Every structure is written in structure tokens, then in C-alpha cells.
Structure 1
Amino acid sequence: MADPLLLVADVGGTNTRVAMARGAIVQTDSIRRYTNRDFLNLAPVLRRYREEHGGPAPDGACVAVAGPVGDGRAELTNLDWSIDTARLLEATGAPRGAILNDLQAQGHALGHLDGSDLQEVIAAPEVQLVSRLVIGVGTGFNAAPVHETPRGRFVPPCEAGHANLPIRTEAELRLCNFVSTAHGFPAVEDVLSGRGLTQVYRWLSSEAGSSEEHSAAEIMARVASDPRAEAAVRLFVRMLGTVAGNLALIHLPLGGVYLVGGVARAMGPHLGPMGFASAFRDKGRFAGFMSNFPVRLVLDDFAALTGCAAHLCEPSTQPQKDVQV
């Protein structure tokens, strides 16, 4: 029997990528990118793709969204969009559909990625068939554990980006107070995200009595020439190490921690020299225990699409999100 033809989509805060897959293999020449601000919701994006791509209706459809998912419905965290299974099926013509949180999709992609798409950040022995953890840093921040069960892979949804930032120093307390002014709450993604890096730079400027600010892309481009940009990236990397270490202790991912997302990839060259590993392991008497967790950076920008396809090919681990018609 031929592998099923699947329509998959990765819905971020800024762009949506849509593609076709045969089984768990995404057809890279079918990938299309759409700017979210050009559409009122996700369903018109999917209909546009079907019109442009043509071909037979897919055997299944799965979308990964940057926001909470429950009872077959998703609300995007950083965009006024929503999608439910009924609208997904109507927009794609598929008889079967699934909606995942974007980090759930990244979790389902593990094991289906090429080794060249993984960059080692912290070396450690990888234990097979135990929990893993994906941590996403991009427009927002999130994390999700990945569990192998007798019924198949289970990747529960999570909204880790809205937990409190860790505070260990007077300077970190001042940073938390600075980033909390907009919402009255210093969340992890207020620092560990694209806009968070901008916030860190603004905070460092304010500490120096300046109002200078730059976009995240500009800050990354200025690291070698602007001491404040270098300091902002170093603080970001160390905070990422601290938060990732906290999450590792919570979930015990002996199968590995996987960093994903555009901002995580941009930080890749700086993770080693700017202290990610030392911050990750800085857990007092548990510092030695932290050496049990390998950490890898996922370089594949389309991993969430692969995860959507893989999920539809796996034994269902979340039947409430799958509908047969």
C-alpha cells in the first residue's frame, strides 16, 4: 500500500508554511510560505494552498500552531487566529485531521530528522526509549516533553513560555521588573524570544542611561562590534541555559534536550563561547547530575512539518484531536 498523501502546516506568529508529504517524508518542493498578516485566519491560507498546489485531496491533514491546543481547537498565542478540526477538514478536503501545538510537532519529528540537521551543544550519552525534551525559541518560547509509550509516542502540550523568569541576582531582578511593565508579569518569553532579545538590549541601555534600541536581527548582526549587543546575547544565552536546565530537572529527558526555532538557531554559534553549558549545569549539588542530559540544536527549519506528517503516520496518541469522517 502506498504511503498516504498528507497536507501539513506550521503556523507561527509571523508566517505559515504549508507542504505535502508522502508518509512521514515532506516533499520539499511543495513547501510554500505565507505571510500571516495577509489573511484573516488559517483556513483561507490552507484553501489558498490547495488552489495553488492542485492535485488530489490529501488523505490527512495536520497543522502545528504556536499556541494552546485542546479538544480539537487551537488559539494562537501571538496572533488573533484560531482553528478547529472541522474547519481544518473543510479547508483541506482531508477525511482525517489533527491539530498540534508547534512544540508537539517538533517532538514528533525526533527520530525522523537527518543527523546532519542536529548540532551538538552538550555531549552526553543518549539513553534510548526514555523521555526527551524539545525547547522552542522563536517568536515566543515553549517546551514539550516527548514520551515513548506502548501505544506510541506521546507529546503533551505545554505553555512553558508563560512561566515566571528565574531570578538569582539583583541584576536579574531589575531585568524582570523592566520586562514586566507591559503585562505586570515577567514571563520566560519576555526575555527568551526574538522580542525578548530586543527587551534585553533596551534594559542594558536603560541601565547605562541610554534609550538606544535595536531589533533582534540588528542585535545579532552587531555582536562583534557593539559591546552592548554582545552583553545582551551573552545574558540571553545564559538565561536560556538556566531555563533549559530547570526544565531538564523537571522532565528528566535522558534521551536528550533539543533546541528548536529560528532564534535558537541564530544563537547556535554563541551557545558554546557565551556559557550555555555552565548555566545549564549550575544547579548546586545537582551540577554533576546535569551531565546526564545531552543537548542538541535542531538546524532543520521544516522539522515541525516533518513532525505533523510523522504524527499522522504514528499510532494515535491523542485521539481527541483526530476525527474520522
Structure 2
Amino acid sequence: MARPSDNETNLPFPILVGDIGGTNARFALLLDAFAEPKQFPFVRTADFANIDDALQQCILDKSSVQPRSAILALAGPIEGDEVPLTNCPWVVRPRDMIANLGFEDVLLVNDFEAQALAIASLTDGEREKIGPGVERAAASRAVLGPGTGLGVAGLVHARHTWFPVPGEGGHVDVGPRSERDYQIWPFLEPIEGRISAEQLLCGRGIMNIYHSVCAADGIDAPLETPADVTAKALAHEDRAAVETVSLFSTYLGRVAGDMAMIFMAKGGVFLAGGISQKILPALRGPEFRAAFEDKAPHSELLRTMPTYVVTHPVAALAGLAAFARMPDRFGVATEGRHWKR
């Protein structure tokens, strides 16, 4: 009978690490503490009814080396023996994985907890700095990333150990500030009467802003996908798209600044996720950093904090692999999240 274990974090190799998002799942196999992760092709979550089928068909059937344990980062809070994902119909059942797929150990963490593990050791080649600020080596950090949803996590350092702080910060309230905000806000689509950060800062958030800009100006909204909007914006081929990405950058800067103050992130604020990488040319512009620093009475404090776009293609997997190799370097809470045969 599989059972949640105590706080042991030394899982047996080979270890499968996985980052399960709302749209894509990414996996890699770590043979031992010294090997580079062997990455598998991305898995579209919509192509499989459940995670067990995806693991069997895309990983276990395709590898001659069978993993003994798994560390999976999930987009959503982790509670109990059945963990539903926030933006995906999959439900993760660690006890079934152990019984049916041959794992000895399964450890579940939040997806942005994995991103936080990654930012502890990114090289300059795996991130791009945006604006001023000086990184303090052992200071707290924050990571947020717009994708299918908006993930947020913190990373704090104490007693020579990095402690990731998972949460649901992407669902904080946001409100209008500028005159233009007040023009478009009535047209934004709320959830149960409120506008959360995730309603603006994710793929559907791009469309939410775009449709509201067009509605406020009384013009048609012919673009149909976030990729269409960002492509037209970066090519300067559609005025509404250009304004959408400009506003997106501004709102991302505001929320990033909020998280910087919450975590006192003198070690930096890191923008992860696919959208941040895709709109990097826009984030290099003035809107993001100006909004990040516009935090009176603490604007001077915010100017000292560096901001980065994570350019590592699979940062969450890198973070999980770092933890798998050296679990003692990280203070990852495992109680209620670690199942053993």
C-alpha cells in the first residue's frame, strides 16, 4: 500500500522529473546525480485522458531505463491523494502511479516551486536582465510567469539553504490606475465579479486585453489567438495588438513589483514561462520596468531590485534536477506530498 512518507528527500535514481502545465507536459530522466537530464519530447496534455496514459506511452514505453522515482511539478495546489490541475482536466493520483507504473517514490511539488528551484542557480546565459538593479547573492527572490495561467513563487535563503515558497499569487486582485485603464476596464471579462492578475497575465489574458481595447475604441477585433496578437504587435502591424502587448507589459510590471515588495526580492524578480520569452522585445521597452518601479513610497527601493527574463528553455526541469541531485541544498517541504511503495 502506497502511503505519504515523512520528510526524506533522497529519492532513488533513476529519477523522472516532470513539469505539468495546463497545455504542455515536459519530462526528463536523471540517471544519477552526475548525469545530464535526458529530455523527452513535449507532451500535449489534451492528447491524453490522464497523466498515467501519457507517462506510459510517451516515457515508459520509449525508454530502456525505467525510473524508480518521480518528482512532478504540477500547476495547482497539492492536497490529498488526488490532485487536480488548475488549467488541465488531469488528476494526479500518486498511489495509482506506484501501483500501476512501477514507481517506488512519487514526490509532488507546485510548478512554480520548481521555477523557484531553478532561479537559485541560473547562469547569465540562461537569463536576460531587464533594467537596473544589482543582484544580492543570498537575498530573497521572486518568480512569476504568464502562460496558460499565471504562476508565482518566492525563494528565500536561510542557514545555507534555499527555501521555495509556493502559492497562488497569480490570483490576486488587480485594478485600474491610468485613464486608459478606466476606459478599457468595463470591457474586461471578470471571474465571479473580479479581475485577478491571471485574468490579464496569461494567454487568455492577452485576448481579454485585446478584445477590451477594441471594444473601448469601437473597432473590430479580427485577431483570434494570443500568438496572432503578439506577432502583429512585435511586427507593429496592428495598432490594437501593439497597445495590448504594451498594456500587458505594464500590468506584468505592476504585479512583478507587488511580488518584489512582498518577498523583499533584492535577489531579483524573474519572469518565467513561454509568454515572457516570446514578448522579450516588448519587455525590453520602457513599460515593464516603469510599472515595476512605480511603487510610491518605495520607488527607490524597487529601482535597486533587478529583473530578469528566464531564457532557459526548460527551467522547471532544471530546477527539479538540481533538487534531485542535491536535496540538502533546498528546503523543500515533502510532508503530505511524498508517496512511497
TM-score higher than 0.5 here?
yes
CA displacement at 1:98 relative to structure 2: 1.1
Aligned pair partner of 1:302 in 296, 299, 314: 314
Residues 185, 212 of structure 2: 8 Å contact kept: no
SS in 1 for 2:143: strand
Paired residue type of 1:269: P
* Structure 2: distance between partners of 1:26 and 1:11: 22
Quote the residue 2:217 is aligned against: 208
The answer as to whether partners of 1:44 and 1:91 remain within 8 angstroms in 2 is no
Is the 1:256–1:294 Cα contact (8 Å) retained in structure 2?
yes
Among residues 98, 106, 120, which one is paired with 2:115 in the alignment? 106
Are 1:58 and 1:92, in contact at CA under 8 Å, matched by a contact in 2?
A: no
Q: Distance in 2 between matches of 1:179 and 1:90?
A: 46
Q: Give the AA of the match of 2:321.
A: A
Which blocks of at least 5 consecutive residues in structure 1 are unaligned? none
Moved more, 104-113 or 281-290: 104-113
Q: Which amino acid aligns with 1:70?
A: E
State yes or no: 1:142 paired with 2:154.
no
Deviation at 1:78? Answer: 1.1
142-151 vs 242-251, which moves further: 142-151
| Deviation for aligned residue 1:28 | 5.8
Deviation at residue 274 of structure 1 after TM alignment: 4.1
Do 1:23 and 1:310's aligned partners in 2 also have CA atoms closer than 8 Å? Answer: no
Amino acid at match of 1:219: V
Decide whether aligned partners of structure 1 residues 296 and 160 sit closer, same or farther in structure 2, where only a CA change above 3 A counts. same
- Count of aligned positions: 323
CA RMSD in angstroms comes to 2.2
The residue number in structure 1 matching 2:255 is: 243
Structure 2 residue identity aligned to 1:254: K
Q: Normalised by the size of structure 2, how large is the TM-score?
A: 0.87
- 1:60 equivalent in alignment to 2:69: yes
Q: 1:40 aligns with which of 49, 56, 73?
A: 49
In structure 1, the residue matched to 2:269 is: 257
Partner residue in 2 for 1:220: 230
Please report how far the alpha carbon of residue 122 of structure 1 lies from its aligned counterpart in structure 2 after TM superposition.
2.6
Shift of 1:176: 3.7
Deviation at 1:23, TM superposition (A): 4.7
Deviates more, 1:225-234 or 1:204-213: 204-213
Label 1:286 to 1:168 Cα distance change in 2 as closer, same or farther (>3 A).
same
Q: 1:228 to 1:147 in 2, by over 3 A?
A: same
Shifted more, 151-160 versus 211-220: the winner is 151-160
1:24 and 1:115 map into 2 onto residues whose CA distance is: 23
Is the contact between residue 26 and residue 309 of structure 1 (CA under 8 Å) also seen in structure 2? no
